[in-house]
């Protein structure tokens, strides 16, 4: 392609000296033709413009979720399907199949998974709008996921866990939560470009919380929670403390296979992963869920949201 012709500066000065209607019309036509011939920059982002605002990402995400009327109307949701639990530790591994149910009523949420295994009957998490509760595997014993959730209850209290599958989804009423959200740049999830948002609960958190949105559809595709727990000074002095370890926790939620349900576009694939790393080893627990049952505006017994009351 030949480079566009450059108009000499002196010629431009002479153009703008003209004052008759005919020359003004000719100049307007010439400018229009020149604009058509030169490479267009309309709509193109410069490097400095690549950074979106958090508010832009959230607005586009909510549009992708569904019309505001539909978002406001779906105050109760019941989502069900199958779940496959996969466990991997340094010396053991295994997988079992079961069911999952996620129910929500405004900011109240319950997530339960049931498996036919005596040593792992399932997981239960509930937030009734005031209190967060976690179920036991056996009396007094919780799973690693249960222990993590019990210590970091904000993942449910803030409406983060489960993403858009629940009516409590954090970004639906961000102003009421008074949480702080910052744009975190771009990245890739499963080889697709995404926008990242950093989420800071109003009351603070020991977690680093990052939300990921598909750069094309603005659908929520991942949430990642990171926490590092350092070794604490033990009662046995420095030698005892040296034997203690730093522990790194990472929870990843992934959402995919979006389809329309009740005038909302919701994920039908939900993956949850807990990774625990210590100096002497670690573990990786995964739950892969396929969701095929969706119900809206159904009455939900308030007692369901307190899993300790069962």
In a domain, 217, yes or no: yes
Taking only the tens place, the pLDDT of each residue in 82-107 is 999 999 976 668 899 999 999 999 99
Distance between CA atoms of residues 310 and 290, nearest Å: 26
Q: What percent of the chain has pLDDT over 70?
A: 78
Within this chain, do residues 268 and 246 fall inside the same structural domain, yes or no? yes
Per-chain mean pLDDT for the chain = 84
User: What is the per-residue pLDDT across 211-225, written as a single tens digit (0 to 9) for each?
Assistant: 999 999 999 999 999
Whether residues 188 and 251 fall in one domain: yes
Is residue 122 located within the same domain as residue 213?
yes
Q: Output 310 or 58, whichever has higher pLDDT.
A: 58
Which domain does 132 fall in, by range? Answer: 52-305
- 13: pLDDT strictly greater than 50: no
Asked if 161 and 220 sit in the same domain, the reply is: yes
Are residues 85 and 200 both part of a single domain? yes
Answer yes or no: do 60 and 209 share one domain: yes
At residue 48, the pLDDT reads 33
| Predicted pLDDT of residue 46 | 33
Domain with residue 165: its CATH number is 2.50.20
The answer to whether residue 39 scores a pLDDT higher than 50 is no
Q: Which of 72-86, 237-251, 263-277 has the lowest mean pLDDT?
A: 237-251
pLDDT confidence of residue 224: 98
Instruction: Tell me: do 143 and 168 sit in the same domain.
Output: yes
- Residue 280 is predicted with a pLDDT of 79
Asked whether residue 288 is assigned to any structural domain, the reply reads yes
128 with 198, same domain: the answer is yes
Q: Are 177 and 268 in a shared domain?
A: yes
Does residue 241 form part of some domain? yes
My answer on whether 243 and 223 are in the same domain is: yes
Q: Are residues 125 and 81 in the same domain?
A: yes
- In a domain, residue 310? The reply is no
135 and 266 inside one domain? yes
pLDDT mean over 156-167: 97
Confidence of residue 232 (pLDDT cuts 50, 70, 90): low
Span 2-23, average pLDDT: 41
Residue 108 lies in a domain: yes
Total number of domains constituting the chain: 2
Taking the C-alpha atoms of residue 98 and residue 250, their distance in angstroms, rounded to an integer, is 24
Q: In this structure, is residue 299 part of a structural domain?
A: yes
Between these two residues, 172 and 240, which has the higher pLDDT value? 172
The answer to whether residue 87 is domain-embedded is: yes
């Amino acid at each position: 392609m030949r480079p566009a012709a450059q108009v000499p500066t002196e010629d431009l000065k002479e153009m703008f000296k003209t004052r008759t209607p005919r020359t003004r019309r000719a100049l307007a036509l010439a400018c229009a033709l020149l604009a058509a011939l030169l490479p267009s920059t309309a709509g193109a982002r410069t490097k400095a413009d690549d950074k979106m605002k958090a508010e832009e990402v959230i607005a586009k995400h909510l549009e992708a979720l569904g019309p505001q009327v539909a978002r406001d109307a779906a105050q109760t949701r019941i989502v069900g399907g199958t779940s496959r639990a996969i466990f991997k530790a340094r010396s053991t591994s295994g997988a079992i199949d079961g069911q999952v149910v996620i129910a929500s009523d405004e900011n109240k949420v319950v997530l339960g998974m049931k498996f036919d295994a005596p040593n792992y009957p399932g997981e239960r998490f509930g937030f009734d709008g005031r209190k967060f509760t976690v179920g036991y595997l056996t009396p007094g014993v919780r799973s690693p996921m249960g222990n993590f959730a019990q210590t970091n209850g904000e993942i449910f209290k803030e409406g983060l866990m489960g993403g858009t599958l629940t009516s409590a989804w954090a970004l639906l009423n961000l102003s009421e939560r008074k949480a702080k959200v910052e744009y975190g740049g771009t990245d890739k999830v499963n080889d697709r470009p995404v926008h990242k948002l950093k989420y800071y609960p109003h009351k603070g958190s020991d977690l680093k919380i990052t939300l990921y949105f598909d750069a094309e559809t603005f659908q929520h595709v991942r949430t990642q929670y990171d926490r590092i727990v350092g070794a604490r000074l033990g009662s046995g002095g420095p030698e005892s403390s040296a034997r203690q370890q730093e522990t790194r926790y990472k929870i990843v939620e992934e959402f995919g296979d979006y389809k329309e349900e009740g005038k909302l576009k919701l994920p039908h694939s939900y993956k949850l992963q807990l990774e625990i790393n210590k100096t002497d080893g670690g573990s990786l627990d995964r739950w892969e869920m396929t969701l095929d049952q969706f119900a809206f505006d159904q009455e939900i017994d308030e007692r369901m949201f307190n899993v300790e009351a069962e």
